[in-house]
């Protein structure tokens, strides 16, 4: 069961324009330790600048620990990794073996979350990788807006849970890499456990919860958190998600909510990055017939993984609503029960819809888009085949 704790100060960060300055300021202020875990680390201006700040932190005695995904960050130059290592930054890659000649599902289990914890005092969680907002597929024209994404800056009681998760994952990967743990400058794990145990109920600050998804004890935690919120929705559900191929339970929950006359709005990616994304369209007809509103964001690329329910419950994180995120990858979402936070996020998503989204009408979808519908069922068939390969065929 998801445990919400009060006593938090949360700040919604929109895109890299707000996220990176906040992250850079926190790194500059670090005194003891930095844990940075991300799927993509790009050696662009953003990545180089963050790298320089990490090197400076390591040189002043801060324990800097960077965990990158072996596939998402496979193009990170070895020269940059060497520079960081030479300055004292510890770097590890999660599942670095990415041979294209194997279909083992372990190869598809990626580190997809984006989380930073500094000094057990401030943290960041969301969907933003270490990459420039304008570094998007197909190198779109300069006048196109940046990628749409979100993160949350966290201070307060939830930080202990974030730090505990970061420490434990770093230790686990260290053991698999047979690396000696460098404890210099780090906050002892025992202290973090003690801090977690001391968290007491409070009506002060924002109530929030951290939800991880892994392939051990927390396989369905993020999906179950979504489903619980959807089942209890009374008036409105807004989901903005870049890769949306929901499983059977998720689809049924949305359709049942629609039957209860809950207003449901889906903001989805309108620009297809790869063929399997067409599987999203396989559910359009059923959703539209049941009154669910669907908008496709086409102005630029949308990378959001957020939801708002009844203007009180919200989530921001790394988890897409597709088989890769819900059944394979390590993901992390923050859940928030706070009207002010949810209202702010809701307003921003609705503004995005107003500024650059195209609504799909039931009539339009029924009468046209034949090619899209054919592509959607071909893509969905591939998704079904893939799920059978990894043992989750019954989920669809």
pLDDT band at 394 (very low <50, low <70, confident <90, very high): low
Q: What SS3 class is residue 302? A: strand
The pTM score is 0.92
Question: pLDDT category, 374, cuts 50, 70, 90?
Answer: low
- Six-digit token string for 243: 């890769």
With beta carbons less than 8 A apart as the criterion, state whether 126 and 114 touch: yes
State the pLDDT at residue 54. 98
Mean pLDDT in residue range 371-385: 67
Question: Which residues make Cβ contacts (< 8 Å) with residue 107, sequence separation at least 6?
Answer: 95, 97, 98, 99
pLDDT-derived band of residue 138, with 50, 70 and 90 as boundaries?
Answer: low
The CA distances from residue 84 to 25, 272, 335, in Å, are: 19, 35, 33
pLDDT digits (tens, 9 = 90+) for 85-110: 999 999 999 998 766 555 566 667 89
pLDDT at 328 exceeding the cut of 70 = yes
Active site residues: 112, 114, 119, 303, 305, 310
**pLDDT value of residue 253:** 98
3-state class of 47 per DSSP? helix
Domains of the chain from N-terminus onward: 5-207 (3.30.870.10), 209-395 (3.30.870.10)
For residue 153, pLDDT over 60 is answered with yes
pLDDT tens for residues 187-203?
Answer: 877 777 777 777 767 77
């Amino acid at each position: 069961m998801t445990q919400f704790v009060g006593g938090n100060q949360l700040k919604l960060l929109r895109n890299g324009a707000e996220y990176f300055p906040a992250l850079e300021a926190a790194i500059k202020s670090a005194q003891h330790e930095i844990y940075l875990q991300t799927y993509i680390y790009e050696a662009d201006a953003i990545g180089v600048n963050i790298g320089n700040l990490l090197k400076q932190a390591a040189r002043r005695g801060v324990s800097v620990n960077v965990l990158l995904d072996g596939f998402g960050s496979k193009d990170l130059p070895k020269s940059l990794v060497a520079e960081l290592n030479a300055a004292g930054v510890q770097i590890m890659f999660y599942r670095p073996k990415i041979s294209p000649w194997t279909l083992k599902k372990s190869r598809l289990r990626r580190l997809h979350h984006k989380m930073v914890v500094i000094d057990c005092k401030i943290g960041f969680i969301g969907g933003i990788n270490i990459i420039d907002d304008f570094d998007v597929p197909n190198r779109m024209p300069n006048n196109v807006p940046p990628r749409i994404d979100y993160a949350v800056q966290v201070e307060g009681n939830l930080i202990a849970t974030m730090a505990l998760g970061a420490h434990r994952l770093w230790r686990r990967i260290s053991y698999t890499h047979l690396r000696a743990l460098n404890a210099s400058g780090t906050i002892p794990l025992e202290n973090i456990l003690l801090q977690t145990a001391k968290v007491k109920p409070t009506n002060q600050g924002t109530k929030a919860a951290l939800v991880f998804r892994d392939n051990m004890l927390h396989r369905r935690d993020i999906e179950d958190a979504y489903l619980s919120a959807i089942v209890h929705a009374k008036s409105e559900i807004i989901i903005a998600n870049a890769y949306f191929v929901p499983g059977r339970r998720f689809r049924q929950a949305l359709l049942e909510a629609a039957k209860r006359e809950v207003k449901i709005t889906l903001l989805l990616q309108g620009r297809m990055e790869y063929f399997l994304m067409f599987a999203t369209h396989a559910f359009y007809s059923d959703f539209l017939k049941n009154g669910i509103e669907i908008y496709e964001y086409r102005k630029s690329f949308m990378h959001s993984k957020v939801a708002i329910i009844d203007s009180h419950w919200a989530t921001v994180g790394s988890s897409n609503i597709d088989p890769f995120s819900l059944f394979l990858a390590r993901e992390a979402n923050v859940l928030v029960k706070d009207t002010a936070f949810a209202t702010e996020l809701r307003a921003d998503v609705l503004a995005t819809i107003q500024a650059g989204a195209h609504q799909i009408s039931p009539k339009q979808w029924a009468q046209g888009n034949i090619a899209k519908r054919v592509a959607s069922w071909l893509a969905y068939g591939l998704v079904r085949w893939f799920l059978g390969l990894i043992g989750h065929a019954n989920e669809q």
